[in-house]
Structure 1
Amino acid sequence: MSEANGETMLSSSFLFLAALQLTTTLAVSQFDWETLDAGTTLKWTPCYQGFQCTLLQVPLDYTAPTGSNASIAIVRLPSAAPKSEYRGPLLFNPGGPGSSGVDAIVQNGAAFATIFGSEFDIVGFDPRGISYSTPHISFFNTDVERELTIPSNPNIVYPSINASSDALARELAHWQLLGKLAVARDEGGYLQHMTTDNIARDMLRITEAFGFGKLQYWGVSYGSVLGATFASLFPDKVGRLIIDGVLDMDGYYHANSTSQMTETDTALQTFFDSCVAAGPARCAFHAPNASAIATNLAALTTRIRAQPVAAVTPAAHGIVDFDALRNALLAALFAPYDSFPPLAQALADLAAGNASAMYTLNAPPPFACGAPRSSANPLESYMTIACGDAAPVADDLASLRAFYEAATSVSSFADLLASTRVVCSGWKIHREGRFQGPIGARNTSFPLLIVGNTVDPVTPLAGAVKAVQAFPGSVLLTLDAIGHTSLTAPSRCIYGYFREYFVNGTLPALGTVCPADAVLFADGRKGNATASGTPPKR
């Protein structure tokens, strides 16, 4: 990385979000996508503030290109460079599956452009079926029906299957219910086409619609699956491709998240250790040593499991129970540089009998009847795409219980993270001929840049190492940080290598490790990063 490029990042590195804030409020309030008509060319319309929007028509079924179509919502922050310096679109996927790439770029595109340079259009798109793209993945006729069935709460995505003696059985029934609803309301059989291989084909269509033949892309978390799938399907169409926070692809395509849990407990241990190091002034849940903090947390968890606590805040009210507490802990591990201080305060308050701070950490937005219909559908999209990609799961209750018990030997968070297999046990819609692996290609037209953190709670570094082996010639860039993806903490070093890769095609030297420009518990209750601690949906 050149010193000049490193200096370019100095003014902006702390503006770059440590984890994406994927709420839809900003986008919904500023632009009406229904005013646009989809076409096979990109017809840009001003939208939001300083952005341009369009809808691209693509085949719903690529084996029947003259049949029904899908409409892909695309937003760009246009390049500010002269035409002679223009380098085309740089596509971004924020994870999920189910997160809105449009909202991610509306909220973070300016920071991205500062990092990558004005030569690129910074492009976000909603994968088929998600958010502003259509046909819209939905199992429900109204938002009220959705709210009554799957309230918008992180616990619904990460339900603890150890919350009670019948929690696993109830979760199995819940996901079977949603699977039956999906089958019953799959008008025209469109849900089978909402798969990662088709999203990869859509990315190629988007790139070609810009007038370019090879993809430039950065994908985080599930976006790593999308990027690796693209490179496997179209190895000769890789321009520049970063996958960041890399899932175990075999595990993803078999609805088995066990390999994702190998560093989750290590990440939690950093909370204990850094709290001790920070001292009581900066860590409210402080104790003299890490073992004491772990013991106090275990005792608090046992107490809340036996007796949940009511919480009333100015904005909302609800219950902090075992599920809520477990999810708050896991959420903090995704973006610890920002989330550890408020988590420590919330734990201290909860131990003292006040649940307000803990409830606020992951409180769902209040639902209002009569509000404009929401375009957000993360849970339905997650189930449709992740389970539709994977090999069918036919496990019964006994098999799922055995799977969970085996996963507990890998991580104490298996009660949350093993739920992927339970979710997919209810899914019955699978398209014949869909891509299911293997991931990899002997020769891509340009080497991939593969990024992993030293400790990532849900995409361990081993996933990145495995991806390097699947794509010979690719290079691993490691961020010495705790948290999920390189978005967990600002790093001038990482940003510099990203820009060098996209602009000059320069790969880091083998074994390169970048430091994070952040410190755990640096600023007490507020943290020192800029993002929410809410984990992106898997």
Structure 2
Amino acid sequence: MGTGLRGAATAVLAGAVLLATGCTSGAEAPDGGEAGGSAASLEGLDAFTEQELRWGECDSGPAESECAVYEVPMDYGDPGGERVEIAVKRMPATGDEVIGSLLFNPGGPGGSGYDYVDHADFIAGESVRQRFDIVGFDPRGVGRSSPLVCLDAAELDEFLGNEAESVDGDGDMSELTEAGIADMEESSREFVEACRENAPELMLNMGTADVARDMDVLRALLGDEKLTYVGASYGTHIGAEYADQFPDRVRALVLDGAVDPSQEQLDLSVAQATGFETALRAFVEDCLGRQDCPLGGEDVEEAVTELDEFLAGTAAEPLANSMDDREINRPRTELGVLAALYSDSWWPRVREGLTDAMEEGDGTVLLQLGDELYSRSDRQSYENSTAALIAVNCSDSPSPRDVAAYVEAAEAAEEESPIFGASLAWGALPCAYWPEEAVDEGGPISAAGADPILVLGTTRDSATPYEWSVALAEQLESGFLVTRDGDGHTGYRMGDPCIDAIVDSYLVDLEVPEDGMACA
């Protein structure tokens, strides 16, 4: 049975967001060297590090792209057991003096690095493109790599779009009755059981510690002595975890829009509410200064109240849908509005969607925006980013097993973000039922001994609050913070030439700016 938390919470996390924390579970390096961190030594990985990447044509993307598949252990504790396939794509450097490979991850968890490199000219500066092959991979369980699939498209539609029973009439997730909470518990258990039925082994091995090991196998197969990497959002967790396990293999890491690995999953959900509230108010303030803004009021506070009242109305009277037969209720309407909180480049379309919805009662544009956030690749199916997101989040740090903790967290998050906060907290509930043997310990990441690591934070970042970047830079022994004063999620290649110049010089020439460098 679906619940209203899905539209406002899980999608919040799925579009390049992340709610994952780290674990310091280093392992023996894939090529036999010693890794940092605290994981047990592993043997028998020669079969993986001696593979050959057979580059060939890709099933999508620019003509010059090259694709391959490599294998890694399902369980690094049993390298002779079942294997997982990892799909990788490469865009060759445009110049002759090539430094090596630059790996990218766009976040999620569940985002496709394989598809991300199709936009190499946009995600990396010209000087970087000249000197590096741009490489992306789908992490284990994601996309073209051996995918984790829990629900089919129809079941996922229900999971994301249906409102919880026994909720207050305005769909407010902070006002669940006991029956509504029971409905939420049932939905979360059903999701976890579906994962257990469809992918019993893979769901136990989806943590970021394993993704970092997979990335080191790829580094070795690409022939790079050290790793050069850009990770956005959840991708910062992958990079930090890599540095903790393999500090002597770090050349340059850019961790853009960071998460704070010292916090546990539910705490991150509550903290994220602050970022979304800041981003919402930035969108509303900008909207009020434009002629096509459907919101009224004398100030931001009044406009936010009007938006909240409008969302409450869609719980009682769903919006019209000219695209398909899905009911555009409050959860699906919220998804469309959430698109505004990731990038100001989406603001015009969100204003269009809100105008159609508030003035004409038509929610089609908002529905389309929500689909884009949620990786609904066409009208019939979703990508598997939702399953991957929940699996990684639930695997990377402990979560409370008592539903009362989620009730308390929803109340706290609602204080920070009255519209989206409670849903964010309830979105973590599947982790209460995730198999305990799959959950890592979590905790701060220091990456002791690694070369300088650039952490980039944006002051009004919605999905990863700026304070998380500050925290990660402080935890990393060699971390240094660069600040972008701006809106939107992440900072590199977001239109700030000052930030782009700093990142490009660091990646190409290993230039390290003064710690605390800020760009307005």
Does residue 174 (structure 1) correspond to residue 187 (structure 2)? The answer is yes
1:381-424 CA-partner distances (Å, limit 9, x unpaired): 1122221222153123x332122112222322212321342121
Structure-2 separation of matches of 1:121 and 1:415: 43
The corresponding residue for 2:471 is: 466
Counterpart amino acid of 1:177? E
1:20-74 CA-partner distances (Å, limit 9, x unpaired): 999xxxxxxxxxxxxxx99812121132411011111222222222222221111
Structure-2 separation of matches of 1:55 and 1:302: 47
Q: CA deviation at 1:204?
A: 0.8
1:173-219 CA-partner distances (Å, limit 9, x unpaired): 111011122223345x3321221101101111111111122111111
1:509-536 CA-partner distances (Å, limit 9, x unpaired): 2332224xxxxxxxxxxxxxxxxxxxxx
- The correspondence of residues 66-465 of structure 1 with structure 2, limited to 5 A, is 66-82=80-96, 85-106=97-118, 108-115=119-126, 116-134=128-146, 136-139=147-150, 146-151=152-157, 161-162=173-174, 165=177, 166-187=179-200, 189-252=201-264, 256-276=268-288, 278-280=289-291, 282-312=292-322, 315-335=323-343, 337-355=344-362, 356-363=364-371, 364=376, 367-368=379-380, 376-396=383-403, 398-412=404-418, 413-428=420-435, 430-431=437-438, 434=440, 436-444=442-450, 446-465=451-470
The corresponding residue for 2:503 is: 498
Closer, same or farther in 2 for the Cα pair 1:479/1:417, shift >3 Å?
Answer: same
Counterpart amino acid of 2:394? C
Q: CA deviation at 1:360?
A: 3.4
Indicate conservation of the 8 Å contact 1:162/1:168, yes or no: no
Q: CA deviation at 1:429?
A: 5.2
Counterpart amino acid of 1:401? V
Structure-1 separation of matches of 2:261 and 2:505: 27
Structure-1 separation of matches of 2:267 and 2:384: 20
Structure-2 separation of matches of 1:512 and 1:349: 42
Q: CA deviation at 1:113?
A: 4.7
Indicate conservation of the 8 Å contact 1:75/1:102, yes or no: yes
The corresponding residue for 2:8 is: none
Counterpart amino acid of 1:45? G
Q: CA deviation at 1:426?
A: 2.6
Give the TM-score normalised by structure 1: 0.78
Indicate conservation of the 8 Å contact 2:56/2:67, yes or no: yes
SS class of match (2:415): coil
Counterpart amino acid of 2:489? H
Structure-2 separation of matches of 1:377 and 1:184: 16
Counterpart amino acid of 2:183? R
Indicate conservation of the 8 Å contact 2:93/2:130, yes or no: yes
SS class of match (2:446): coil
Structure-2 separation of matches of 1:96 and 1:358: 21
Closer, same or farther in 2 for the Cα pair 1:58/1:463, shift >3 Å?
Answer: same
Closer, same or farther in 2 for the Cα pair 1:213/1:38, shift >3 Å?
Answer: closer
The corresponding residue for 2:44 is: none
Closer, same or farther in 2 for the Cα pair 1:168/1:457, shift >3 Å?
Answer: farther
Structure-2 separation of matches of 1:194 and 1:290: 42
* Aligned sequence identity (%): 28
Indicate conservation of the 8 Å contact 1:75/1:125, yes or no: yes
Q: CA deviation at 1:114?
A: 4.2
* Unaligned stretches of 5+ residues in structure 2: 1-13, 17-47, 165-170
Number of matched pairs? 459
1:252-284 CA-partner distances (Å, limit 9, x unpaired): 5567422222232222221232223x232x434
Indicate conservation of the 8 Å contact 1:247/1:260, yes or no: no
The corresponding residue for 1:61 is: 75
Q: CA RMSD of the aligned region, Å? A: 2.9
Q: CA deviation at 1:306?
A: 2.6
Closer, same or farther in 2 for the Cα pair 1:271/1:375, shift >3 Å?
Answer: closer
Give the TM-score normalised by structure 2: 0.81
Structure-1 separation of matches of 2:148 and 2:64: 29
Closer, same or farther in 2 for the Cα pair 1:346/1:139, shift >3 Å?
Answer: closer
Closer, same or farther in 2 for the Cα pair 1:244/1:167, shift >3 Å?
Answer: farther
Which region of structure 1 is more displaced relative to structure 2, 264-273 or 452-461? 264-273
SS class of match (1:243): strand
The corresponding residue for 1:513 is: 518
Indicate conservation of the 8 Å contact 2:460/2:487, yes or no: yes
Closer, same or farther in 2 for the Cα pair 1:439/1:21, shift >3 Å?
Answer: closer
Q: CA deviation at 1:236?
A: 1.5
Q: CA deviation at 1:95?
A: 0.8
Indicate conservation of the 8 Å contact 1:55/1:74, yes or no: yes
Structure-1 separation of matches of 2:215 and 2:462: 28
Which region of structure 1 is more displaced relative to structure 2, 337-346 or 211-220? 337-346
SS class of match (1:382): helix
Closer, same or farther in 2 for the Cα pair 1:168/1:242, shift >3 Å?
Answer: farther
The corresponding residue for 1:17 is: none
Structure-1 separation of matches of 2:410 and 2:235: 26
- The correspondence of residues 44-59 of structure 1 with structure 2, limited to 5 A, is 44-47=55-58, 48=60, 49-59=63-73
Closer, same or farther in 2 for the Cα pair 1:100/1:245, shift >3 Å?
Answer: same
Indicate conservation of the 8 Å contact 1:390/1:436, yes or no: yes
Structure-1 separation of matches of 2:236 and 2:163: 20
SS class of match (2:438): coil
Structure-1 separation of matches of 2:244 and 2:163: 29
